[in-house]
Structure 1
């Protein structure tokens, strides 16, 4: 009986060693830091809108932004000009979740369609206060070349039309991935 109890830890150690040695990624994956820079074009007005309000608050809340939910499929470009080279799409939603200031919950996939990261996606989930000069949001995951991604996105408003709500936002994204 005592010899069986001594054998159990030895077998567990042996099995874990075999599992670690047979891992298909052992020694192949190296973590790296990537910096991405692009511009996000949020067009909420006109016939070519890329973002659409899907929930509008009723009653007294209609005078504030609180409760508004917007779905987006916004172009990402190399430069601030909407006609500059496209690099991807920001697809997701933002919801006005702050009652005392303009503040959004952002949930978006940055789907890259050009260059080195074509076909790869980064997922951003966090708080965005668009009237602040710089906003930081966490990168919570990714796919393709961004598997196991984590990092942060810094957003700076490049241009904002207060009447229409259209905006161009500069993004600097720093991400660790394999």
Structure 2
């Protein structure tokens, strides 16, 4: 008797699994991914009275600085549509950088790009990754998003265009390529 039940339930379970896969692939076909390409500019002041990046902690007894292992920084940088600081602000880059290699050459970043303009207001792109600190161009993964960028995946390159060591001001171009619903 138990053997008869196995023969009956096995085809039913198989049919249910096939039905679920068929439904999920049809549902996915109806929601095609969109590609969005954005070029934006992030402005950072890592010192002075208008600092948008700040060291918050590090390893006790060690110097806390960009090339010092274990140093943690917070950022809240304006992101604009143009290279000039007076260009319209479209978002803020808010997050954490940690000097993550013993030699101080690499940093791990977890940053939310929080949009404030009309088109993407309230949406976010979530960036995460590790990069060489002295590199002129860094690449990070886009690991998620909200609002207009729900289910985002992709990458962003950050290229340092300008750095003034006397004012601690830098501008980087951010090139986003993002797939989302």
Q: Same fold (TM over 0.5)?
A: yes
Distance 2:104 2:166 in 1: 17
Aligned with residue 128 of structure 1, among 126, 131, 140: 131
CA gap 1:161/1:58 in 2 versus in 1, 3 angstroms: farther
Structure 2 equivalent of residue 109 of structure 1:
112
Distance 1:147 1:87 in 2: 18
Under a length normalisation based on structure 1, what TM-score does the superposition of the two structures give?
A: 0.85
Structure 1, residues 129-158: CA drift from partner, whole Å, max 9, x if none?
Answer: 342121111111112222222111111001
Distance 1:89 1:99 in 2: 30
Distance 2:5 2:51 in 1: 70
Asked whether 1:71 is paired with 2:74, we answer yes
Distance 2:118 2:133 in 1: 28
Structure 1: which 5+ runs fail to align?
A: none
SS of alignment partner, residue 116 of structure 1: coil
Alignment of 1:1-16 (within 5 A): 1=1, 2-16=3-17
Structure 1, residues 101-152: CA drift from partner, whole Å, max 9, x if none?
Answer: 5421111111111143222111111113342121111111112222222111
CA gap 1:46/1:62 in 2 versus in 1, 3 angstroms: closer
Q: Contact (CA 8 Å) 1:93, 1:106: kept in 2 or not?
A: yes
CA gap 1:24/1:145 in 2 versus in 1, 3 angstroms: farther
Stretches (4+) displaced over 6 A? none
Q: Contact (CA 8 Å) 2:57, 2:71: kept in 1 or not?
A: yes
Alignment of 1:49-68 (within 5 A): 49-62=51-64, 64-68=67-71
Distance 2:14 2:131 in 1: 48
Distance 1:5 1:58 in 2: 64
CA gap 1:127/1:109 in 2 versus in 1, 3 angstroms: same
Distance 1:135 1:23 in 2: 36
Alignment: residue pair count:
178
Backbone CA RMSD of aligned residues: 2.6
Structure 2 equivalent of residue 93 of structure 1:
96
Q: Give, in angstroms, the shift of residue 27 of structure 1.
A: 4.3
